[in-house]
Amino acid sequence: MPAVRPGPTAARHVWGPVYVNRIAVRAAIHVAAVFALYLSAAMLIPAAVDLYFGHEDWRVFAFSALFMGGLAMAVALATQGRAPPVTTRFAFLLVNLLWVTMAIAGAVPLAASSIGISIADAIFESVSAITTTGSTVLVGLDTMPPGLLLWRSILQWFGGLGVIALGLFVLPFLNVGGVSYFKIESSDIEDRPFERFSTFAMSFLAIYAGLTLACAISYAMAGMTGFDALNHSLTTLATGGFSTHDASLGFYAERPAVLWVGTLFMFIGGLPFSILILFLVRGRLDALGDPQMRVFAGYCIVFVVGVAIYLRVNADMPFLDAFTHSAFNFVSIITTTGYASADYLQWGPFAVACIFVATFLGGCSGSTAGGIKAYRFLIVFELMSNGLRRLVYP
């Protein structure tokens, strides 16, 4: 008797896990491709800026936008299909693929620009931007094309926001909810202030954009040029630290108002955005009593005041100047922003020791800041307190 070949249904039953994985991979690639379309559209912004300032690199950004947009459109059309299974595995795949897509797409105009950097350097700069690390391989920032400087700032702003928040605009095409993906991408541990995740996401984006605009206006009022104010507002809220000057914000060291604007918005960037939504959208004052915010504010105040007094006594610096530079640099260090207004390694051994400790602290969970995060210190403290309490009262 001839062998009976299994039909499509039987094959799907036998190769079920493989079939499901293929759907998940295809869907993740589709989301990443649509996400790349957003990035290609964003490239037109620095293209317009270069065109306005009369720089030839506008062609680089325009071509990069057309190239990336065409490639992304082709991939998106080729990978259309059914909705993927809502699993943790797919969530991890999607989040990592979005980060990789953004890193590669962000490096394209950098590699093709007139500054002549290698592909490796372009990818390094792009990854540093989207992860809000702030390290750079570029020198001579003061004379670089304005479009390129703005593109670095835009990438860092996207990175501070979290690419999954942008990917939430894509997920509805797949009929997939965004909660599990946001939980994986973000360090937020707070309950959502809205039942519908789309409402929460839009509030998140609106507050992030609104604070960025407020920061730009504040920088401009404090004495920055309009272009510098725009760039630094994008990287201040993202706590990334890219600047348009090799001297970072030390370029404005003689303008204390600029440093205090930076200090304020870096500190806001280190706060949990779920709490900010509750406070700004729902008007809940009790949200500001979040314990991790008290911890974050507490160690910021301790380091700032302590080093300011040390500078006043040890370096004979006027207390107001010492307090300004101490506040700016320590909030920058604690939130892992990376701005600097002075060479703080020359402040003396006590200040250097404080800087070393502050480097590890970080902002709050669910913020744009890096570091260990205040919430984890709060958990460790509670665990130690409970352990000691049990030793004393077994």
pLDDT tens-digit map of 352-367: 999 999 999 988 887 8
Final residue in a domain of this structure, among 175, 206, 226? 175
Asked whether residue 150 is domain-assigned, the answer is yes
Task: Give me the domain span that covers residue 157.
Answer: 22-175
Q: Are residues 250 and 140 in the same domain?
A: no
Asked whether residue 243 is domain-assigned, the answer is yes
Return the SS3 of 360.
coil
Q: Are residues 148 and 43 in the same domain?
A: yes
Asked whether residue 35 is domain-assigned, the answer is yes
Q: Are residues 282 and 350 in the same domain?
A: yes
Residue 44 identity (one-letter amino acid): L
Q: Are residues 365 and 241 in the same domain?
A: yes
Q: Are residues 148 and 266 in the same domain?
A: no
At 13-65, the pLDDT tens digits run 444 566 567 888 888 898 889 889 989 999 999 999 999 999 999 999 999 99
The model's confidence at residue 6, banded by pLDDT at 50, 70 and 90, is: very low
Final residue in a domain of this structure, among 175, 193, 224? 175
pLDDT mean over 159-186: 55
Mean pLDDT (the chain) is: 85
Q: Are residues 253 and 367 in the same domain?
A: yes
CB 213 within 8 A of CB 233: yes
Q: Are residues 253 and 332 in the same domain?
A: yes
More confident residue, 41 or 86: 41
Asked whether residue 220 is domain-assigned, the answer is no
d(CA 326, CA 305): 8
Q: Are residues 168 and 34 in the same domain?
A: yes
Chain centroid offset of residue 225 CA: 24
Give yes or no for residue 106 having a pLDDT over 70: yes
At 252-278, the pLDDT tens digits run 999 999 999 999 999 999 998 888 888
At 126-146, the pLDDT tens digits run 999 998 888 999 999 999 999
Asked whether residue 321 is domain-assigned, the answer is yes
pLDDT of 275 reads 84
d(CA 94, CA 351): 43
Final residue in a domain of this structure, among 175, 198, 219? 175
pLDDT of 315 reads 86
Return the SS3 of 195.
coil
d(CA 214, CA 20): 46
Q: Are residues 302 and 376 in the same domain?
A: yes
Give yes or no for residue 176 having a pLDDT over 60: no
Q: Are residues 153 and 245 in the same domain?
A: no
Asked whether residue 123 is domain-assigned, the answer is yes
Q: Are residues 296 and 155 in the same domain?
A: no
pLDDT of 279 reads 84
Asked whether residue 170 is domain-assigned, the answer is yes
The whole-model pTM stands at 0.86
Q: Are residues 153 and 50 in the same domain?
A: yes
> How many structural domains are present in the chain?
2
pLDDT of 118 reads 93
Asked whether residue 365 is domain-assigned, the answer is yes
The model's confidence at residue 193, banded by pLDDT at 50, 70 and 90, is: low
pLDDT of 4 reads 46
Token couple for 75:
């991939």
d(CA 201, CA 189): 15
